[in-house]
Chains A and B, each alone.
Chain A
Amino acid sequence: MAKLQEHAVVQILKICDRYQDEKTPLMMILSDIQNEYGYIPLEVQEIVSQQTGISVAEIYGVVTFYSFFSMTPKGKNVIGVCMGTACYVKGAQQVIDRFQEVLKIQPGQTTPDGLFTLDALRCIGTCGIAPAVSINGKVYPKVSVSDVPDIVEAYRKEA
């Protein structure tokens, strides 16, 4: 098993300590780790287990239960295509298909260069501007299939 770097361990211990007084700290700890590192590998879960007394199996269960948590590193830019009912009716399937073509990955995967992760999301609550795409928290309204290459290109340039 790959060894974690020391500064990462220190950081994870710090995150665990933040929620020492909480009755049920697990979700908060995992959320912080996910936000900080983009993923929660098993080695990290083991440290959280030791700190909180919650078994690795249970932590692993929580990580695999919620789609927000990931066991593999996410890309620098996380593209979430809303697949809720309204967006779906307005053509979200075609939009996500186009993202797949442009990025050459399936939903849930990350591009080899680590720039993009593509996710299919449940309703993100912006039905009025369907179909919606959320990238790193920024929401793009009424996305059409032809917009897709430009959006991707803009983030490529940024990198």
Chain B
Amino acid sequence: MAKVNIKIEGIPYRVEAGKTILEAAKSCGYEIPSLCAFNHGECNQGSCRVCLVEATGARGLVASCVYPVSEGLEIRISSPKAVLARKRSVELLLSNHNRNCQQCEKNGKCELLHVANVTGAEGNKYIGEHSEHYLDNLSSGLVRDTSKCILCGRCIARCSNAHGTGKVTTKYDPKYLRGSNAHGLGILGYENRGFKTFVSPAENRSFSESPCIQCGQCVNVCPTGALMEHSEIPKVDAAIAAGKHVVVQAAPAVRAALGEEFGYPIGTPVTGKMIAALRRLGFEKVYDVNFGADLTIMEEATELLGRLTNGGILPMITSCSPGWVSYAESDYVDLLPNLSTCKSPHQMQGAIIKSYWAEQHGYDPKDVFVVSVMPCTAKKQEKERKQLRVNGIPDVDAVITTRELARMIRRSGLMFDRLPDEDWDEDIMGDYSGAGVIFGVTGGVMEAALRTVYYKVTGEDCDRIEFTEVRGHKDGIREAVINIDGKDIRVACASGMRSARVLLDEIRDGVSKYHFIEIMGCPGGCINGGGQPYVRSWFLPNEEDDIYDIYRRKRAQALYTEDERQTVRQSHNNPQIIELYEQYLGEPNSHKAHELLHTSYAPREGFPDKSKYPVVVLGI
């Protein structure tokens, strides 16, 4: 890489050519206050004007996040002019912000407040007109409050990077349009212009009346509280207060990230303390969703084997990610028969809690309240699906995210690091295998399922499947070939709808060579879900420099380590799973299993008739 000589505050440095001032300064040990810039230029439009510095040869001040370094460039970050300009920029942003910080759940993690502190900006320096703002709390997963939005564009960039259309792979075809379902994701965009600009799905619709899959990636990158998960803490409180039998179940990805909220380095599994905390928060039983994951594997592996041997519809596609399911229902309606009919693990486990578990304890299912702790905002919308009810009773009653759990723990006064390490409740459904743990990582569901398929066909156990990157799809698509009893089973996994679309279009065009495909809604899988703790270098000061590059890998590693630690690493070897089938379900894919553990899908209109739904209203 070519290098250039620059000076910062008169001190000479050699930095990589082509970098922006912001990145170059960082390599020299300066963190210029900035707001809209994110993740090495994922969002870089110089819109917020917070990172202004003086640079030789430039007219006036330059936005360091977009201005490239060049030979001989002299930069002043601390000149009075630059310092004042940054302060003013933040003050102007604050003048059109609702500044209701005490009531904002983002407080403590808010980047606007952070740069206000750093630059010394005053909140009410400029008192003026506010632009009209909107509050969308109509969807079950996400809340959009434009009164807090600073129009930085990060959410728009993330939404289209993760899921965006990019290259057109399929042209319009009336066969697939099905009314009006033709769209790539890239749900969020700027609407109107000038002072009236705001960020929203087209037509200022609610997330629930747009093709949005409610994955929550936009929430992860929002610097303020403009995009948040729809909190269900009040629902949980109410259920506990009402004296219901409140059972909690936590997903694998939660333990890999919850510690970050309490000062642990990224990738520290905090399983034991999390269980202790949940017990002290008033939950009657604390279960691991991994049991549900093992159950999913039993059902899914059996289904796959059935399709392989009986000439069923292939490739089979996993159905654990509710974001992906909702995308399939709007954009790939013709591929719905390819989806596994298995419910996702927490829904399966919820159904078992409200049937088998309730029976064993002598409880009326109506008095049982199941709370899932998930790394995911889409799960909030998933649990509302009418296909996920048994006899009208929902499998799961409330879904809280990893962040919401952290909030509940903080609110309770529990000192997280002083909690003892406790174990899951182990009656009936506490045991789990390593296969269940890795569900949280892209490729994990498939690997877990293949371990069981392998056993069912060959009678031997298989521990690890090596995946290789599909060339040309960095960070996107991986594939593997596994030889089971002389037959090659080809599998692939993709995360994020952008890479998923490549595999899906192959199926549509009839050229897919795979038997089994795993799709996750969020890039990197559940560990990077929309409900996971925020990752920002300024409140995680003890992490390495390139925190955005490493955190996913570190969280994933936490799960793989736990998998390797488990003595039972295949779902079919989990003794309690074996018992559940013997005592209650019979065998995988039995009639009873279908009733409780399988579901169905229905086409969804991307932009349904607006007149039939409540509209997003002006905020107060």
Contact = CB atoms under 8 A, between A and B. Distances in A.
Which of B156, B187, B202, B607 has the most CB atoms of chain A within a 10 A radius of its CB? B202
A58 B157 CA distance: 11
A74 B211 CA distance: 28
B165 A54 contact: yes
What does DSSP make chain A's interface, helix, strand, loop or mixed? helix
A120 interface: no
B171 A57 contact: no
A1 B180 contact: yes
Contacts of B191: 60-61, 64
B193 A1 contact: no
B609 A50 contact: no
25 contacts: A1-B179, A1-B607, A1-B610, A3-B179, A42-B203, A46-B182, A46-B606, A50-B184, A51-B172, A52-B168, A53-B167, A53-B168, A53-B184, A55-B160, A56-B183, A57-B186, A57-B187, A57-B189, A57-B202, A58-B160, A58-B189, A59-B202, A60-B189, A61-B191, A65-B190
Contacts of A127: none
A64 B193 contact: yes
Interface string B203-216: 10000000100000
A41 to B, nearest CB: 10
Contacts of A52: 168
A49 interface: yes
A55 B165 contact: yes
B605 to A, nearest CB: 7
Given A42-B203, A56-B202, A1 B184 contact: no
A27 interface: no
A45 interface: yes
Contact of A55 (B172, B184, B607, B610): B184
B165 A53 contact: yes
A45 B202 contact: yes
Interface string B495-529: 00000000000000000000000000000000000
What does DSSP make chain B's interface, helix, strand, loop or mixed? loop
Given A13-B172, A50-B183, A65-B193, 19 more contacts: A1-B180, A3-B179, A50-B171, A51-B171, A52-B168, A53-B165, A53-B168, A54-B165, A55-B184, A55-B187, A56-B183, A56-B186, A57-B156, A57-B188, A57-B201, A58-B186, A60-B203, A64-B191, A65-B190
A47 interface: yes
Nearest to B608: A1
Contacts of B187: 55, 57
A56 B156 CA distance: 12
Which of A49, A57, A61, A64 has the most CB atoms of chain B within a 10 A radius of its CB? A57
Interface string A21-48: 0000000000000000000001101110
Contacts of A57: 156, 159, 186-189, 201-202
B174 interface: yes
A54 B202 CA distance: 13
A143 B365 CA distance: 77
A9 interface: yes
Contacts of B201: 57
Given A1-B607, A53-B168, A60-B202, A46 B189 contact: no
A46 B203 contact: no
B617 to A, nearest CB: 19
B182 to A, nearest CB: 4
Nearest to A55: B186
Given A1-B607, A55-B160, A49 B184 contact: yes
Interface size of B as a range: 35 or more
Nearest to B194: A65
Interface of B: 156, 159-160, 164-168, 170-172, 174, 177, 179-180, 182-193, 201-203, 211, 605-610
Interface string A4-19: 0000010001000000
A50 B184 CA distance: 7
A61 B179 contact: no
B174 A9 contact: yes
A24 to B, nearest CB: 14
A150 B383 CA distance: 63
Contact of A1 (B164, B174, B609): B609
Contacts of B192: 64-65
A57 B608 CA distance: 15
A108 to B, nearest CB: 13
A24 B172 CA distance: 19
Contacts of A60: 189, 191, 202-203
B608 A49 contact: no
A6 B326 CA distance: 28
Nearest to A67: B193
Contact of A50 (B156, B159, B160, B182): B182
The 9 closest A-B pairs by CB, nearest first: A55-B186, A57-B189, A53-B168, A50-B182, A60-B202, A61-B189, A50-B172, A53-B165, A65-B193
A49 B182 CA distance: 8
Contacts of B167: 53
Contacts of B166: 53
A51 B168 contact: yes
Contacts of A9: 174
Contacts of B609: 1
A61 B172 contact: no
A43 B180 contact: yes
A45 B188 CA distance: 15
B396 to A, nearest CB: 31
A29 to B, nearest CB: 13
Nearest to B212: A57
Interface in A80-136: none
Nearest to B189: A57
Which of B159, B166, B184 has the most CB atoms of chain A within a 10 A radius of its CB? B184
Nearest to B163: A55
A52 to B, nearest CB: 7
Contacts of A13: 172
Contacts of B165: 49, 53-55
A51 B156 CA distance: 21
A141 to B, nearest CB: 30
Nearest to A4: B180
Given A46-B182, A49-B165, A55 B605 contact: no
B545 to A, nearest CB: 33
A62 B9 CA distance: 42
Contacts of B177: 47, 50
Contacts of B605: 1
Nearest to B170: A50
Contacts of B606: 46
Nearest to B202: A60
Nearest to B201: A57
Contacts of A43: 180
A55 B183 contact: yes
